[in-house]
A = this chain, B = another copy of it.
């Protein structure tokens, strides 16, 4: 089947180095701090290997700490402004389980870990995904200090997730997570920013 389609497919593929860097599939990440340490390490590797922005995320089984799906920012290499780390992790996780809904009855409960607090888009994506808990490293203020615009979230974004049955925990390894953001800036890499439209 090589018939020509008028519009291209959008495809997001994790960088190959992830397969080498990740511990084997049996590894269990017991504590929130263990899970976040992996995510922060992926954000650092994504920076160092030049495969995208300094952001990573992952979906874990809450109970036993098994990694279901990692994600890294792929905006530049994939030519896709949607390809933030959280979005990539959620999309890959849903491919792994074969459903758009990670809260389906026979599945274990899943947590989303994000090296930096979600931007407005990723915040909005969380309730649709079936994730039951969100754990964040660096804060919006840390991303903005480096020059990223995280967009307009509702004032009480944490409360609005909790109202939808999604727990939120913040500031897990915030320091190390924020350090990766600063390293990205110090390396002189692209800080893409939608408010550039204003200064044009």
Minimum CB distance partner of A14 in chain B? B7
Known: A80-B95, A81-B125. 19 other contacts (CB 8 A): A5-B16, A6-B25, A7-B95, A9-B95, A10-B12, A10-B92, A11-B12, A75-B100, A81-B100, A81-B129, A101-B192, A120-B127, A121-B123, A123-B124, A124-B124, A127-B151, A154-B155, A164-B195, A165-B198
Of residues 47 to 101 in A, which have CB atoms within 8 Å of B's CB atoms?
69-70, 75-76, 78-83, 87-88, 90-92, 94-101
Cα A16 to Cα B75 in complex, Å, equals 27
Minimum CB distance partner of A199 in chain B? B165
Contact with B along A133-165 (1 / 0, CB 8 A): 000000000000000010111110100100111
Cα A200 to Cα B130 in complex, Å, equals 12
Minimum CB distance partner of A97 in chain B? B79
In the complex, whether A188 has a CB less than 8 A from a CB of chain B is no
In the complex, whether A37 has a CB less than 8 A from a CB of chain B is no
Chain B hits for A75, CB < 8 A: 100, 128
Q: How far is the CB of A159 from chain B (nearest CB, A)?
A: 9
Set B79, B94, B120: member contacting A81, Cβ < 8 A: B94
Set B25, B100, B152: member contacting A78, Cβ < 8 A: B100
Minimum CB distance partner of A70 in chain B? B7
Chain B hits for A19, CB < 8 A: 5-7
Q: How far is the CB of A96 from chain B (nearest CB, A)?
A: 7
Interface core residue of A97, A100, A123 (most chain B CB under 10 Å): A100
Cα A98 to Cα B9 in complex, Å, equals 12
Chain B hits for A155, CB < 8 A: 154
User: Is B151 in contact with A152, judged by CB distance below 8 angstroms?
Assistant: no
For the complex of A and B, 7 pairs with smallest distance between CB atoms: A120-B124, A121-B124, A165-B197, A127-B194, A10-B91, A152-B160, A81-B128
